[in-house]
Amino acid sequence: MADVDGDRVPVLVVGAGPAGLVAGLTLARYGVEVLLVEKRSSISTRSRALVLSTRSVEILRTFGLEDDVRAASADIEPVGWMAPTLAAAATEGHLMPLGHPTHEQAATVSPTRPAWASQDQVEPLLLAGLRRAPGVAVRFDCELVTVREDGDGVLATLRETRSGRTREVRADYLIGADGARGVVRNNLGIDMSGPGEQGEYEAVDFRAPLAHVVGDRSFGLAFITHPGARGILARRGAGDLWHYGVPCRPGSPKLADRSGRELAELVATAAGVPGLEPDIVHITAYVFGAEIADRYGDGRVFLAGDSAHRMTPRGGTGMNTAIQDAYDLGWKLGWVLRGWAGPDLLDTYEPERRPVGEHNVTRSADPDGAKRQAEEALPWDLNGRMAHRWLQHLGRTVSTLDLLGTGLTLFTAADRPGEAVTGPDPRTPVTRHVVEGSVAAAIGVPAGGAVLMRPDGKPYLVRAAGATDWSDPRS
């Protein structure tokens, strides 16, 4: 057993954002010991991410966090509304789809649905779950100084930011989840390419009781068209916390330079509520950027989240792509470190995740990137995972996705009750489920055959009726 606070650890994760936290949670499911370090003193209290996608909530569901996420979420449809002010949206304006399914649409494709919860509300839930996991150590005020790979793994130099003390840690693998300007990617000498900077924006987060002003409308993001307050007004999860963002305009005073009264009047104009007295929480300024790393790692060092791709908030894909990257990399590292697969499995990380990253970077650079129909955006989010169907299992109603294990899951139709619980590689554990005809067909079980699913719900191998060998469904 490795000592997570010693000088050797199976996986060192750098960065406690969504990618780093999800990577740690995923590895913990496989009993892999993890040291996660973060140079800040705590997780971020600010973010531009506002919504968890369908697939991201499915992943957090596997960690048992769905109820916690739902409690932190605003109970609204994940769509936008364009109107002169927030209050005007109660009677005028029009809907703007954001690429996420409505509650009704989501019910046809998933056991869950998107959650309107911002990154700074999601991260504490991930961190709490990670701290409950055995074999995981989380160290704040601890930064990575250098990293290099040699024949015995990865050698990292860490420094305690308060004391200045340094120590070396050797890891079998390292995950760089320390952001677009992080140390890991720079140490590897990996550049980023793409559209680049997309403009400067600023925002004010505030508290005010505004949910009632939209009447029966159910949406998360308001596109304000009032000439004196053009911008976006968005809920930040459950409660009365709101986000008002505007592009920086030449000749206009910065939000940070305005008086409290001027800010209040600007927010009141956007809200369409004269005399509103918002409680200003903080003001931020940021540059929109859209870039992707030229490669997703080097040897035993991998990039995830903003280290691998930088996205603007348009389309709400940044945090969600980070979560899904980390989950993909996490289970693959888990298999390798448990001896369930060879290291060549890790070679699939970039080829499988990069197309999604490239698509989402491009979408985020599009001035109209926020506007997408669910039918267009959802396939990129679900990314080929098996179909969701409800069924009865051990006296409970569960989704087909709930049957997926940490290893391979063998699905056979009810007319093949004697199918052996085996896979092509004896190292990989296999669990078996017999499903009835319509469910079997929906998830891709050939008539009279079988399918092996990966932990992420993607088909691994299929076997036709009467066949003795498995075949690759992608060939």
pLDDT in tens, the chain (475 residues): 345 666 899 999 999 999 999 999 999 999 999 999 999 999 877 767 899 999 999 999 999 999 999 999 999 999 999 999 999 999 999 999 999 999 999 999 999 999 999 999 999 999 999 999 999 999 999 999 999 998 889 999 999 999 999 999 999 999 999 999 999 999 999 999 999 888 899 999 999 999 999 989 999 999 999 999 999 999 998 889 999 999 888 888 889 899 999 999 999 999 999 999 999 999 998 888 999 999 999 999 999 999 999 999 999 999 999 999 999 999 999 999 999 999 999 999 999 999 999 999 999 999 999 999 999 999 999 999 999 999 999 999 999 999 999 999 999 987 655 556 677 788 899 999 999 989 999 999 998 889 999 999 999 999 988 888 889 887 7
Show me where the domains of the chain are located: 8-68+118-194+290-382, 80-105+198-288, 390-463
What pLDDT was estimated at residue 418? 57
Question: CA dihedral in degrees (265, 270, 274, 280; nearest 10)?
Answer: -50
Question: Is the Cβ–Cβ distance between 91 and 213 less than 8 Å?
Answer: no
pLDDT attached to residue 417: 53
Distance CA 175, CA 325 (A): 11
pLDDT at 419: 59
Exposure string of 402-421, with b = 16+ CB inside 10 Å and e = fewer, is bbbebbbbbbbbeeeeeeee
Distance, in Å, from the CA atom of 117 to the CA atom of 49, rounded to the nearest integer, reads 8
Picking from 322, 247, 313, the residue whose alpha carbon sits closest to that of residue 98 is: 313
Distance CA 301, CA 190 (A): 12
Residue 415: predicted pLDDT = 61
**Cα separation of 434 and 263, whole Å?**
61
Among 370, 281, 319, 305, CA closest to 118: 319
What does the alpha-carbon distance between residue 326 and residue 306 come to, in Å, rounded to a whole number? Answer: 11
Distance in angstroms (rounded) separating the CA atoms of residues 195 and 446 = 44
The CA-atom distances, in angstroms, between 395 and each of 391, 392, 399 are 10, 6, 13
What residue has token string 């160290």?
A: 139
Write down the CATH number for the domain with range 8-68+118-194+290-382: 3.50.50.60
Q: What is the pLDDT of residue 2?
A: 46
**Residue tagged 């070679």 (tokens):** 347
Quote the pLDDT of residue 202: 93
Question: What H or E segment, with its residue span, contains residue 80?
Answer: strand 80-83
CA-based nearest residue to 323, from 288, 362, 353, 359: 353
Which single residue is written with the structure tokens 């609204």? 76
**Largest pairwise CA distance in the chain:** 76
Contacts of 394 (CB under 8 A, 6+ apart): none
Where helices occur in 278-398 by DSSP H, the ranges are 318-338, 349-365, 374-382
Q: Which residues pair with 143 in a beta bridge?
A: 159
- State the DSSP code for 252: S
- What is the overall mean pLDDT for the chain? 93
Place of tokens 């129909």: 373
Q: Which runs of E-coded beta strand occur in 258-349? A: 279-293, 297-298, 301-303, 309-310
DSSP 194-208: EEEEEEEEEEEEEE-
Could you identify the residue written with the tokens 């760089």?
Answer: 176
User: Is residue 428 classed as helix, strand or coil in its secondary structure?
Assistant: coil
390-463 folds as: Glutaredoxin (3.40.30)
Unique residue bearing structure tokens 């009264």: 261
Distance between CA 226 and CA 100 in Å, rounded?
A: 26
The H or E element spanning position 268 is helix 260-271
The Cα 14–Cα 25 span in angstroms is 14
Classify domain 80-105+198-288 by CATH number: 3.30.9.10
